[in-house]
Amino acid sequence: MGSGLPLEQLLTDLRTSENQALSLIKTRYDATQNRISAYGTLKNAVENVKTAAEALNKSNTLGALKATTTGDTFTASAGGKAIAGDYRIEVQQLAGSQTLVSAGQADRKASLGNGGLITFTFGDGKQSTLDLQSQATSLEDLVAAINADTDLGVRATLVNDGSDTPHRLLLTSAETGTDAALSNISVSSTDLGNSLQALLGFDATQPSAMEERVAATNALIDVNGISITSQSNKIEQAIEGVTLELAKAGTAQSLKIARDDSAGTAAVKGFVSAYNALQSTLTALTGFNVDEGTSSPLTGDSIARRVQSLMRDALGVTATEGQVRSLSQMGISTDPSTGALKVDDAKLSKALAENLPDVQRLLSGEGGLVQRVTSTVQSITGSNGMIKSATDGAERSAKLLDNDYIATSERIDQRMETYRAQFVALDQTVAQMSSISNYLTQQLAMLSNLNSQSSKS
């Protein structure tokens, strides 16, 4: 309006001053969000300790057995029920799948009738049915329909033999062994001109439309002089707790099932590593940088201190019997300066080799380390655990701060509009007063001039 007052600068300065309240709210909001994120990081670190502890309780960890073979006719793996021993195994024959071949057809796309129900009967008496009623029935369609049904127990493909009627349908049993071989294929249809039966008909007891080109075979092996037959090349019942995977027939090779303490050592070190990672996480989340004067998301947080205390207490497992009654006696000790765990490799190896039952009782027995850690972690990270409660509280605080930020921002906007209106009115008033002042100055000047002229005359 022409007053010349720096009103826009005044409004900008007022806005900056008012926004300090928003900055304080945002600082608190960001700190709350950082605390929520830190709780998530802490939860993951705690659960990693639980996962590492549970690995100590697996059958293939402490006291695990390892299968060692010579040669390449089979591979073997030992499970929890395996028993140490030495075996001589000869793979005499692999299990194989049956293959049936149809007569050649001139056109792979030509229809073979109006469909029907195709019933496949297998060596073990089981049956499966493919419904082709009102469906396309060319060789290509037949292959697609068979392969689309993974429960049929049959796979199909087409081959071209280069003759005048080159297209042949190949049916292969989905599994190996005589039980999975087809013993009969029949087609039921009301269409008298149907050609499917003429193409697919099969009866293992007599000449048929389909011809068996490859017969199904069962696997044959000899284990320490005992003959064993299997429908599959994966044999799980021949030796207690041992799975054999047959690769090819050949001369006998040896299989040795023996203790493998490397798995137990790896699991113990895995637990120590997870626990130390938790300690590092806690240090990072709760530390205070003296030089820079900055704190971490959970500096002074009671939940973090409680978690550290509970996890440390979970390590205080002891046994009342045996040669190994504490973690320190099996080679796991705590560094008093850092709280981190250390492993004495020689001590651990000796404990596993000479006192395995004591180690198993201490780690995975009733009231052992695994149970103590699992129970402690549940109280920390469970649905009713302390981290969940702390996170829920922080999220509620963040929501309140978010609402407070919005409300404060709206109040500042309203206040600034009031300031602007007041400044506009002030600007107008000052402009009007300036105009009146100029007018009066002009009038007084004119009167002064008139008085001067009157005096001269």
Give the model confidence (pLDDT) of 202-236 as tens digits: 999 999 999 999 999 999 999 999 999 999 999 99
233 and 375 in a common domain: no
Amino acid at 357: P
Average pLDDT over residues 231-257: 95
- Asked if the structure places residue 129 within a domain, the reply is yes
Question: How many Cα atoms sit within 13 Å of 17 on the Cβ side?
Answer: 8
How sure is the predictor about 144, in pLDDT bands with cuts at 50, 70 and 90?
very high
Give the lowest-confidence range in 1-5, 221-225, 238-242, 368-372.
1-5
User: For the whole model, what pTM was predicted?
Assistant: 0.65
Q: How many CB atoms lie within 10 A of CB 420?
A: 14
User: Does 2 have pLDDT greater than 70?
Assistant: no
Best CA proximity match to 375, nearest among 314, 456, 430, 431: 314
- Percentage of the chain beyond pLDDT 90 is 62
Q: 65 with 258: CB under 8 angstroms?
A: yes
The CATH number of the domain holding residue 105 is 2.60.40
Spell out the residues 6+ positions from residue 117 whose beta carbon is closer than 8 angstroms to its own. Answer: 129, 130, 131, 132, 133, 187, 188, 189
pLDDT of residue 115: 76
- Asked if the structure places residue 90 within a domain, the reply is yes
327 and 296 in a common domain: yes
User: Does 426 have pLDDT greater than 90?
Assistant: no
Q: What does each C-alpha distance from 369 to 201, 358, 379, 380 come to in angstroms?
A: 65, 12, 16, 16
pLDDT of residue 4: 62
Give the lowest-confidence range in 12-26, 30-44, 325-339, 425-439.
425-439
232 and 90 in a common domain: yes
Residues comprising the chain, all counted = 457
DSSP letters of 72-85? SSEEEEE-TT---E
Helix runs in 83-131, H state only: none
User: Does 1 have pLDDT greater than 70?
Assistant: no
How sure is the predictor about 81, in pLDDT bands with cuts at 50, 70 and 90?
confident
- Asked if the structure places residue 233 within a domain, the reply is yes
User: Does 189 have pLDDT greater than 80?
Assistant: no
Token pair 């506009």 is at which residue?
424
- Asked if the structure places residue 82 within a domain, the reply is yes
User: Does 417 have pLDDT greater than 80?
Assistant: yes
Q: What does each C-alpha distance from 134 to 57, 90, 92, 114, 119 come to in angstroms?
A: 57, 52, 48, 6, 16
- Asked if the structure places residue 275 within a domain, the reply is yes
Average pLDDT over residues 154-177: 96
Tally of domains in the chain: 3
Give the lowest-confidence range in 20-34, 189-203, 214-228, 253-267.
189-203
Which helix (H) or strand (E) element contains residue 239?
strand 234-239
- The domain of 311 spans 48-59+262-382
328 and 250 in a common domain: no
194 and 246 in a common domain: no
SS3 state of residue 439: helix
* pLDDT per position as a tens digit, 288-336: 888 787 888 999 899 999 999 999 999 999 988 889 999 999 999 999 8
209 and 231 in a common domain: no
How sure is the predictor about 107, in pLDDT bands with cuts at 50, 70 and 90?
very high
User: Does 193 have pLDDT greater than 60?
Assistant: no
- Asked if the structure places residue 389 within a domain, the reply is no
Best CA proximity match to 61, nearest among 370, 267, 271: 267
| Residue at a domain's end among 201, 230, 259 | 259
- Asked if the structure places residue 356 within a domain, the reply is yes
| Residue at a domain's end among 198, 231, 259 | 259
318 and 278 in a common domain: yes
Read off the tokens for 304.
């973090």
State the Cα–Cα distance between residues 101 and 166, nearest whole angstrom: 12
How sure is the predictor about 154, in pLDDT bands with cuts at 50, 70 and 90?
very high
Q: Between residues 449 and 335, which one has the greater pLDDT? A: 335
Read off the tokens for 183.
């013993």
| Residue at a domain's end among 328, 362, 382 | 382
- Asked if the structure places residue 3 within a domain, the reply is no
User: Does 3 have pLDDT greater than 70?
Assistant: no
Give me the residues paired with residue 158 across strands: 169
Q: 377 with 46: CB under 8 angstroms?
A: yes
Question: How many Cα atoms sit within 13 Å of 430 on the Cβ side?
Answer: 13
Burial of 182 (0-12, 13-18, 19+ CB in 10 A): buried
106 and 210 in a common domain: yes
Q: Between residues 415 and 3, which one has the greater pLDDT? A: 415
210 and 240 in a common domain: no
235 and 201 in a common domain: no
Give the lowest-confidence range in 41-45, 110-114, 309-313, 316-320.
110-114
pLDDT of residue 44: 96
345 and 315 in a common domain: yes
User: Does 339 have pLDDT greater than 60?
Assistant: yes
User: Does 23 have pLDDT greater than 90?
Assistant: no
State the Cα–Cα distance between residues 219 and 97, nearest whole angstrom: 11
How sure is the predictor about 137, in pLDDT bands with cuts at 50, 70 and 90?
confident
pLDDT of residue 312: 93
